[in-house]
Amino acid sequence: MRTVRTLCAALAAAGLLTACAQGPDSTDSSQDAMTTTNTLLAEWEGPYQGVPAFDQIDLAEVKPALEIGMQKNLDEVDAIANSSEPPTFENTIVALERSGRDLGRVFAYYGILSSNLSSPEFREIQSEMAPKLSEFNSKITQNAKLFERVRAVYESDELAARSPEEQRLVELVYDGFARNGATLEGEAKERYAAINQRLAELHTTFSNNVLADEEGYTLYVDEAQTAGLPESFLKAAAAAATEAGHEGQYAIFNTRSSMDPVLTYADDRALREQVWRNYYSRGDNGDEYDNNAIIAEILQLRDERIQLLGYDNYAQWRLENRMAKTPERALELMEAVWPAALARVEEEVADMQAVADSEGAGLTIEPWDYRYYAEKVRRAKYDLDSDEVKQYLQLEKLRDAMFFVAGELFDFAFTPVPEGSVPVFHEDVKVWEVTKKSSGEHVGLWYLDPFARPGKRSGAWATSYRSHETFDEPQNVLSSNNSNFIKGAPGEPVLISWDDAETYFHEFGHALHYLSSNVAYPTLNGGVRDYTEFQSQLLERWLTTDEVIDNYLVHYQTGEPIPAELVAKIKRASTFNQGFATTEYLASALMDMRYHTDDPTGIDPDAFERENLADLGMPSEIVMRHRSPHFGHVFSGEGYSAGYYGYLWADVLTSDAAEAFAEAPGGFYDQEVAAKLVEHLFAPRNAVDPADAYRAFRGRDATIDALMRDRGFPVPGE
């Protein structure tokens, strides 16, 4: 039974997506002929155990591919459910793991169309198919005969004789049914399915509304408004404007990668305010793309659904199988950090206001001033110029640095595949073969789609088109990283900020998690949300290691390594602006939890956001990192709903694990600690309970102390 985490938003899944397996078809069907003529359903051909035909995507094939794939999967599931043989691990659990191959291949293309190549035409298909996909999912999770067979295996004496990995597989499959309506009957069962169907529609609409506002608010400015902006940014913005038919102007996209440099460097305060308002009002403009009413309906439906299952609130249901276990434990962690973050913001604002006053700016710090004056404070306090740092952060060099780290810690080597040998969905996408550095053994492929463009959702993310498995035949991994960097002018390197460099490493950590898998069964490639961010957050720490700094952070013009004194400034300033970074994140995480623990009856999201932020003491100079109307983590699907706190939970593990490397004889490249990292924290994926896996690595549970030290906050008891 397969869960496809990367398509949760697209499919609005409640948590279990049997259909999303990927790999060669292993079943017979009367529809086989149609399968082979539809590119999206066809078995993958070519090298590397077969690869998706991304260069042959045809929108006309999407609906029929989904419909055929769903029916084939339902036929497979019905055959399992109606078997005359007594239920066993092999004929029930393993059979489910083997099902859904055809539809899984379709979802690889569907995810690309949704996230990387979206268009108005595809969004119409997406809106039409979302409720049908939800209905399909409900037919599986609410198949009474199927659930009885799963439950029989779960409760059988046979289970005790199975390996720990197989026992966990059965537990996860059983839990996926039981927590998603399989135990309901009659009207409650019908209502549960109807709610899922409506949520699928709402999640899709929410996501598409945000994308519409990102595409619809591109700003074209004249040179007079560009004072203070870095030359590298202006070259890229000019090239983008020219490509869009605005010769002589500069394009500012309504995405974080474009917004952030403007708010950090632009001297024109009116421009900063306009860019800020465009970005933070996505989904909140009172027009056809406004998401407030959608949020209200989503919250009410989620609450109604969990009441059918007997829970007090949505967060209680969501966290039951996470590391935090309860909303109270998640809130306890966030509330332990929140006061220190607020206190730091107060200090930061005072420093910024002092700079503004000394310049005679005649202003009071507003949200669109925060990054701009923080940069001035950074220069004054640490003599550190972020734009100077960017000159040493070349996108391609950073990619090479990530490959180096992967080689040292994971024994991976990355080799570019010959151009044209692996189909790609856009000319910007490049592909590498991943092998074991020590033996040359093939592991999989890594796709990289680095640049922003219309139709591509904002932000950065990782996904996989095929996951590791061995239970039938060994299956390699097809992993992918996706970013929204602004493409440089022709012949110019792409220079990025320090924050973006950390994000680049972060998302690569997810890819390494996919590539490291040694599990036998597809379901075990899933993960526990407040744990799976840990591996990626940990990888960020290697950006500041001497080996990366000395060899890959070189000036884009001279090729000279970054000066030691500049590195020292970066490290001294490592806790700078942590008030801002922690508070904008925690505000979103706390709001997410409040949305999902309060009674949503008659909720007005706009008022709820304002009132709760006031109750939390949110500083007026900062806004939530993701305001409610564009909080895609929470409202475009259910992957992070009541779970955005998970980044902080994972960061507790990250800080603690980083200290294990820092304390080791070989530092961050200590081979003994690296081997334990891969063995216990990357390779098992979800085959081991996360708490047990972390204890096996560290010898104890993590504590909050290392996190507080990392952020420069007071450590409790010290």
- Of 154, 142, 253, 149, the C-alpha closest to 195 is 142
Phi, psi of 376 (to 5 degrees): -65, -40
Long-range contacts of 611-618 (CB under 8 A, 24+ apart): 613/587, 616/338, 616/587, 616/590, 617/342, 618/583, 618/587
DSSP result, 479-501? EEEEEEEPPPSTTPPPB--HHHH
Other C-beta atoms closer than 10 Å to the C-beta of 150 total: 25
**What span, in angstroms and rounded, lies between the C-alpha atoms of 96 and 89?**
10
- Of 452, 450, 412, 445, the C-alpha closest to 431 is 445
- CB distance 464 to 477 below 8 Å: yes
**What span, in angstroms and rounded, lies between the C-alpha atoms of 147 and 142?**
7
- Of 708, 405, 699, the C-alpha closest to 535 is 405
Helix, strand, or coil here: 121? Answer: helix
**What span, in angstroms and rounded, lies between the C-alpha atoms of 678 and 685?**
10
Residue 485 tokens read as 């960097």
- CB distance 553 to 677 below 8 Å: no
507 is catalytic: yes
**What span, in angstroms and rounded, lies between the C-alpha atoms of 499 and 167?**
41
Residue 698 tokens read as 């560290």
Long-range contacts of 226-230 (CB under 8 A, 24+ apart): 226/250, 226/266, 226/268, 227/266, 227/267, 227/268, 228/265, 228/266, 228/267, 228/268, 229/261, 229/262, 229/265, 229/266, 230/261, 230/265, 230/387, 230/390, 230/495
Apex CA 367: angle with CA 297 and CA 536, to 5°?
70
Catalytic residue among 76, 97, 201, 507: 507
Unique residue bearing structure tokens 């990357």:
682
Q: Is the dihedral of CA 70, 71, 73, 77 positive or negative?
A: positive
Other C-beta atoms closer than 10 Å to the C-beta of 363 total: 13
Catalytic sites, residue numbers = 507
